[in-house]
Structure 1
Amino acid sequence: MPEGVPLHITARRLLGGLLALGVAAGTSACGADAEDDAGTDPAAATSDEGWTYTDDLGTEVELDGTPTRIAGLNDVMASLWNYGVEPVATFGQTSAADDVAFEGRDLADVEIVGESYGQIDLEQLAAAEPDLIITSVYPVDSEGTLDPASPPYGIESAAQLEQLQQIAPVVAIAYRGSAAEVMADVAELAESLGAETGTIEAARAEYDEAAAALTAAGEKGVSVLPVYATPSEGWWMAKAGDDPQLALYEELGVDFVDPGGDGYFWQSVGWEQVPDHPSDVLLYSLRGGMTPEEMAEQPTAARLPALEAEQAHPWKYIGMDYAAQAEYMAELAGWLTAAEDVTP
């Protein structure tokens, strides 16, 4: 099963039926509406009365002042750091030291309190004394429905969520729809946490330039397939419309292969069916999946046009912020521009 994507959410719902818990000391929690897509748009404000934030699950946090010691999920922490908000602690399905989103960052002053999904060193996190813990939340279906009864992403259970809430308020940003909307929410949160408006605007300008380049590259019409593969678990193909990052690229003109199937986010097939899903370009997950060289050792995958043409490139799961997306979109635009149409 692929790492770092919403299958964890589905697994927890099947295992659990866990109930959402109230926010502990220092916060007030407003339960989401009874409808499946409950929640409000993220909104943060700082005033003389303090700092307030309402997340996508309807959790409302009120603090006496702007939180300055931020901890949370790698994906969100990397984005905030790109705007100048440095975290005091991070956790995720991998160590921040091994996460491409933190490439080039000095992590000496950051406590890495989790290196695999749901495994968080609570004592180490508490010692970092965070004012706020931020993570993300994924939908449970292609319509973007959020499940307020399930713990946010990166948190393995309701019991663990309660333990985190004893350390600091926990809020979540919904990773759904297009990354364009998610990036706006992240930028708004970053600014409320002290990020300079000029830093955000400069990153947005770079993003706009990269978006134009990706649109131009997409006009070439080469097909793209993002995959996660392991010898034992087979071939998992992402559905672009269900991933905010890929959905954005599709909006900008990238031609993603539709892998079919009725499931959310992924369509998986056995190795014998891999040749039925050709593409001009293959994007391979960097989060635990096989490399192109390893894929090519599988007789069926070796016949894929993208692998034969050596048109396989990393699928980097990076932050929902203008700086990170601009950098990766520029890379992707270059790959598409250089790619040849090699599918039958």
Structure 2
Amino acid sequence: MHHTARRLTGGLLALGMTVGVSACGDDPATDPEPAAEGSWSFTDDLGRTVTLDEAPDRIAGLNDLTASLWNYGIEPVATFGQTSADDDVAFEGRDLDDVAIVGSTYGEIDLEALAAADPDVIVTTIYPDDSSGEIPADKAGYGFNDLAQQEQVAQIAPIIHIAYRGSAADVIERVVELADALGVDTEGGEVAAARADFEAASAELTEAAASGVTVLPVFATPADGWWMAKASDDPQLALYQDLGVTFVEPGGDGYFWHSVGWEEVPGHPSDVLLYSLRFSMTPEEIAAQPTAALLPAVQAGQLRPWKYIGPDYVSQAAYMAELAGYLSEAEDVTP
């Protein structure tokens, strides 16, 4: 698989990654003792149950999930991901002094540093391989380079996988369930307020999208042209689509993305161009490409940031309100 594709914007599938087994209690044959009364357990989206003597309070894992759990008050002890938490918009405004950043490139995790952080559990997402939403039995969680690496990580602490498929609305609820299991009050307090903000932002986005302006999310690379996201395959975009946003269908028979060279870019016009904030070219760099300069959105100056935001009420509400503003300001500029 192309190296660039491994590093695509937050939701980028690590296409072709292999799978892994993790967590305590994965196999009754190797964990025959029933859980003692009062012990903690959580069954993840692979159907694997992690069982501990007590509720975990030292959480490590993929940036995308640790940032979301932090929005519910659970500060991680360690994070890893495609980029450093220092550079990740999901951690904007956070004090990371007490958080071990143990990976800043996809699949590269400092196992010694992760072990030193002494996590009780490690959380990550996992993607299907196609639009069916099914996850192969031999697939590794997102963030892990391969099965062998995931197994090494699982020696440090059990791994909880949250499936990233369907609509982000469902993934958000699953993360709320995890937060609840970790001791967060998810029915009242800050979470209830965040849920209300999310519902208000959803309505705001629906109203803004009613104008019908078209939107194309892209990950642009100087050498390879650009990768256009398929909204129905990306849970975050699928949520926005369900709320009424009109995404351009990029074509192609691949899952999640359709990539084209720069010479084909003019054939994919939109009113608004969303450019990925993870590794993608800047608006200025995109506009400097002769073929991209022909696009209506570029000519109208309607390039806006596409933020890969984790599956939680707080961050999604903030970006949906931002996106609603972009759509409200945008003009219909496509023929």
Query: TM-score, normalization: structure 2?
Result: 0.93
Show the counterpart of 1:21.
21
Show the counterpart of 1:179.
168
Q: Which of 311, 315, 320 is the matching residue for 2:306?
A: 315
The alpha-carbon deviation at position 8 of structure 1 amounts to: 4.7
- Distance of 1:105 and 1:185 partners within structure 2: 24
Output the amino acid matched with 1:88: V
Show the counterpart of 1:166.
155
Query: The residue matched to 1:10 in structure 2 has which SS?
Result: coil
- Distance of 2:333 and 2:299 partners within structure 1: 9
Query: The residue matched to 2:138 in structure 1 has which SS?
Result: coil
The number of equivalent residue pairs is 322
Show the counterpart of 2:221.
230
Between the aligned residues of both structures, percent identity stands at 62
Asked if 2 retains the 8 angstrom alpha-carbon contact of 1:100 and 1:316, the reply is yes
Show the counterpart of 1:264.
255
Show the counterpart of 1:36.
none
Query: The residue matched to 2:269 in structure 1 has which SS?
Result: coil
- Distance of 2:323 and 2:171 partners within structure 1: 20
Where do 1:10-89 residues align within 5 Å? 10-13=15-18, 20-21=20-21, 23=23, 27-30=24-27, 49-89=38-78
Are the structure 2 counterparts of residues 28 and 253 from structure 1 closer, same or farther at C-alpha, using a change threshold of 3 Å?
same
The alpha-carbon deviation at position 161 of structure 1 amounts to: 1.1
Consecutive unaligned residues in structure 2, runs of 5 or more: 29-34
Asked if 1 retains the 8 angstrom alpha-carbon contact of 2:227 and 2:260, the reply is yes
Show the counterpart of 2:82.
93
The answer as to 2:206 corresponding to 1:189 is no
Where do 1:133-212 residues align within 5 Å? 133-197=122-186, 198-212=189-203
1:187-236 Cα shifts (integer Å, max 9, x gaps): 11011112223222111000000000000001011000000011111111
Show the counterpart of 1:40.
none
Please provide the CA RMSD for this pair: 1.6
Q: Which of 227, 232, 235 is the matching residue for 1:244?
A: 235
User: Larger deviation: 195-204 or 330-339?
Assistant: 195-204
- Distance of 1:21 and 1:212 partners within structure 2: 40
Q: Which of 4, 11, 14 is the matching residue for 1:9?
A: 14
- Distance of 1:293 and 1:119 partners within structure 2: 31
Asked if 2 retains the 8 angstrom alpha-carbon contact of 1:218 and 1:333, the reply is yes
Are the structure 2 counterparts of residues 200 and 112 from structure 1 closer, same or farther at C-alpha, using a change threshold of 3 Å?
same
The answer as to 2:138 corresponding to 1:118 is no
The alpha-carbon deviation at position 30 of structure 1 amounts to: 4.3
Consecutive unaligned residues in structure 1, runs of 5 or more: 32-45
Output the amino acid matched with 2:21: L
Asked if 2 retains the 8 angstrom alpha-carbon contact of 1:91 and 1:112, the reply is yes
1:60-100 Cα shifts (integer Å, max 9, x gaps): 11111110000000000000000001100000000001000
Query: The residue matched to 2:14 in structure 1 has which SS?
Result: helix
1:135-182 Cα shifts (integer Å, max 9, x gaps): 000110011111220110001111111111111001110000001100
Asked if 1 retains the 8 angstrom alpha-carbon contact of 2:9 and 2:219, the reply is no
Query: The residue matched to 2:273 in structure 1 has which SS?
Result: strand
Show the counterpart of 1:287.
278
Show the counterpart of 1:38.
none
- Distance of 2:36 and 2:173 partners within structure 1: 21
- Distance of 2:36 and 2:166 partners within structure 1: 30
Show the counterpart of 2:118.
129
- Distance of 1:111 and 1:189 partners within structure 2: 22
Asked if 2 retains the 8 angstrom alpha-carbon contact of 1:224 and 1:256, the reply is yes
Query: The residue matched to 2:326 in structure 1 has which SS?
Result: helix
Show the counterpart of 1:39.
none
Output the amino acid matched with 1:338: E
Asked if 2 retains the 8 angstrom alpha-carbon contact of 1:228 and 1:285, the reply is yes
1:270-307 Cα shifts (integer Å, max 9, x gaps): 11110000000000001101111101111000111101
The alpha-carbon deviation at position 21 of structure 1 amounts to: 3.2
